[in-house]
Structure 1
Amino acid sequence: MENYLGIEIDKTSKRIIKIFVVFFVSIFVLTILYLIINSNELVKQQLLSIERYTRVIDIYNNKKEHNFPYVKYSNGTQKILEFPYQIGDSVSKSKGDSIEYIFRKDSIIKNNYFEEARTNGFLK
């Protein structure tokens, strides 16, 4: 049998190709199912693994990232602004805790990462 490219494929080769395609499609489907089933747990683990003890030194629009607001911390890291920090805020979050504490002047603000993820649709 000859296909439109002029390459002749016999029946055993067609069978091997079909098995190969079914194998990779099944791996793809199983991976998608795994991610759907475990997505909440993966997001929780990522949020719990964050550790941050620093101070906000600048808030700016990053021109390289379509003018999204970014925050610059005293430890040199720069991240997209996910919480309405103010310059001078001290940020404290322990690994394994879902609460981030923001020390601002005479007040302490609690930012619950899990609640933020739920409101943004990352957790169910």
Structure 2
Amino acid sequence: MTTPRRAARTARAAKIAISLPHEQLQYLKAAEEAGRGSVSGHIQRLIQREREAADIEQTLRRLFGDEPRPGAEHEAWARRALGIDGPVKPGDPNGPSGPNELSDGGGNVAA
């Protein structure tokens, strides 16, 4: 008999079978026994982290193009925005420009 609670859980999740090396399965089962969540929960968290990392990577590519990291001008602007090298002033010619502008125009870092 399918209970309403089980039906709701089934509707939002699919049951699958996966193959893992024995040592990885042992790790997951030990974590579950230690109270650090279920095997499914652990895999869900790993997938969520991977998706978040991909989102961050996409944002960085949008901001900095194909550069492996922010350029020196971005780092200098960030230091000023954080108050490390003095405040960023509106229209700062040494800060990021164009579509990569990280300020709201009033010298505040955009959220």
Tell me, yes or no, whether TM beats 0.5: no
In proportion to residue count, which structure has more strand? Answer: 1
TM-score tier after normalising by the smaller chain length: under 0.3
In proportion to residue count, which structure has more helix? Answer: 2
Scaled by the length of structure 1, what TM-score is found? 0.25
Greater CA radius of gyration, 1 or 2?
Answer: 1
Looking at both structures, which has the greater relative contact order when contacts are Cα pairs under 8 Å and sequence separation is at least 6?
1
Scaled by the length of structure 2, what TM-score is found? 0.27
